[in-house]
Amino acid sequence: MKRGANVALTREIPGLTGLVLGMRWSTGAERVLEESLVFAAILCGADGRARSDQDFVFFNQLSSPERSVQQLEEALGGDQEQIEVDLAAVPAAVDRIVVVLYVNEIPAQRRTLGQLRSCVIRVLDGRDNRELVRSEELASAFSAETAVALGEVYRHGGDWKFKVLGQGYSKGIAGIAADYGIPL
């Protein structure tokens, strides 16, 4: 799937109850970048913004309060990171779930997503781990970005759709936090 393309997940796959959002990346030999990367999900309300800090699901907050969106400490299968979404448990006030990747910045060690060799977001069926869709190779468009909004799962009518975003941020997680209202 190219950037901006979307797919109607629950309409095309009846009976779909849960998703796995899988993140595959390759940093080559760049170990510091590998260890600085963070895969996260943001639960957004109708205004496109997180409602509180608890709507940010990442390695230090592995689940949203109602446990509809959960990050696995160790991914199952070939992905580096995975986030599971239980569609029925997502609160009605949550309109979309945006998945992001960012480089955790510390002063001495500046790394960017431009150093990534590969970066692909996949959507799997939560029941059987079957790959439903995958994004195009996103890494080739990165240069000085330190964060990227990869894609979003969103409500449309009564259905859930998935869209590839691939929106890069040069200000890193601070830029994403400003756009999506995460209280840092």
Partner 1 sequence: MIPDPATAPPRPDLPFLRHRAKPRPPAPTPAAQFVAGRGPHPPHGHHPAPPAPAPSLDLSRPAAPAPASSSLDLSRPATPAVPVTTGSLDLSDPPAAAPPATGRATAPARAAAPALRVHRDRRVAAGQQQLLTVTTPTVTLTRVQSGVGHLEIEAVCSPEVGDLRLGAVYQLATGENSTVQYAGGERFAPAKARRPVLLAGRDAYEHLSIDLRQVRRLERLAVYAFSESRTPLTWGGTLVATTFGGARIELPLESLYEGTVAVLMSIYVLDGELVIRAEMETITGDVREAARAYGYDRITWRDDRHPVD
By the rule CB under 8 A, 108 interacts with partner 1: yes
CB 40 within 8 A of CB 34: no
By the rule CB under 8 A, 38 interacts with partner 1: yes
Transcribe 44-94 into DSSP letters.
E-TTSSBSSGGGEEBTTB-B-TTSSEEE-SS-SSS-SEEEEEEGGGS-TT-
By the rule CB under 8 A, 182 interacts with partner 1: yes
Six token digits for residue 136: 């195009």
By the rule CB under 8 A, 115 interacts with partner 1: no
Question: Candidates 9-17, 56-64, 137-145, 162-170 — which segment interacts with partner 1 by CB under 8 A?
Answer: 56-64
φ, ψ of residue 139 to 5 degrees: the values are -65, -30
Q: Which is nearer to partner 1, 90 or 164 (CB)?
A: 90
By the rule CB under 8 A, 56 interacts with partner 1: yes
Six token digits for residue 111: 């790394």
List residues binding partner 1 (CB under 8 A).
Answer: 31-32, 35-36, 38, 51-54, 56, 58-63, 65-68, 70, 73-77, 89, 91-93, 104-109, 127-129, 173-174, 177, 182-184
